[in-house]
Amino acid sequence: MGSRQVMLVVLLACVALTVVDGARTLPESVLQLFGVSDKESDSCGPQVSIETPQCSVVEKRDTYELRDYNVKEIWVETLVPNSTFETASFTGFYRCFNFISGKNSKNMKIEMTGPVLIKPTPDANGYKVAFFVPSRFKSVNDLPTPSDPKVHFYEPEKAVTAVIGPFGGFPTNKDYEAKFEELKKALDKDGFKYNESTVTYAGYSSPFQFKNRKQEVHVDLVPY
């Protein structure tokens, strides 16, 4: 499925949600997906109008930066095995989006955050897709249970992460892989050790944003 088809399906879903809600405006979670919000992120990384994980910049290099994600995080995640990047991106996004849209044990709607993470998962021949859980939820026990058994929560370990980006466009898997190769070369040159299995693609822009899009590639450093 191409990027235009994905955007069309997302638009139709948003319209459907509007009808279900019986309102003239889109639901708040959808508005935030479009980047329409009064709340500005105060985290490091791309500045967008939705909440992003808290972090601090450890060091800036010519082509990348090191960030310390030192605050406890909760993510909602799903694995899409035996799939292409395009299929996993679409399927995984909607599983997570359905959860924050109310398909959970409390019919609770949860605000959209950034970034959407897409993580290659070679063991499953597919990808994991994850949404950051808003920081107002202090533990998994504060969250409703996903209705979809393929959706679950996880809490990553604290890490110093090397990040390349942000870069624009609508990147394909090959584009992300090329950026990761660029990041690895820079880290190798500077003598940093990293865990390739942690590589993650981070997208901060909604499908309806065509200019000034923001994507990154992340990989965790190996502690000395």
- Residue 86 is part of a domain; what is its CATH number? 3.20.80.10
From first CA to last CA, the distance across the chain in angstroms is: 42
Give one DSSP letter per residue of 160-182, joined into a string.
EEEEEEEE-S---HHHHHHHHHH
pLDDT of 53-99, one tens digit each? 999 999 999 999 999 997 899 999 999 999 999 999 999 999 999 99
Whether the per-residue pLDDT at 17 is higher than 50: the answer is: no
pLDDT at 18: 33
- Tokens matching residue 170: 């609508």
Cα separations in angstroms, 14 against 74, 141, 162 = 25, 29, 34
pLDDT of 140-186, one tens digit each? 999 999 999 999 999 998 999 999 999 999 999 999 999 999 999 99
Cα separations in angstroms, 219 against 150, 178, 193 = 25, 14, 10
pLDDT at 43: 61
What is the residue type of 28?
Answer: E
Handedness of CA 189, 127, 85, 130 (dihedral sign): negative
pTM of the complete model:
0.81
Provide the domain count of the chain.
1
Question: Which long-range CB contacts under 8 A does 217-220 form with residues at least 24 apart?
Answer: 217/163, 217/164, 217/165, 217/176, 217/179, 217/180, 217/183, 218/161, 218/162, 218/163, 219/161, 219/162, 219/180, 219/183, 219/184, 219/187, 219/194, 219/195, 220/159, 220/160, 220/161, 220/162, 220/194, 220/195
Report the share of the chain in percent with pLDDT over 70: 80
Whether the per-residue pLDDT at 33 is higher than 80: the answer is: no
Range of the domain at 208: 3-220
Cα separations in angstroms, 116 against 23, 62, 106, 130, 132 = 27, 25, 23, 6, 7
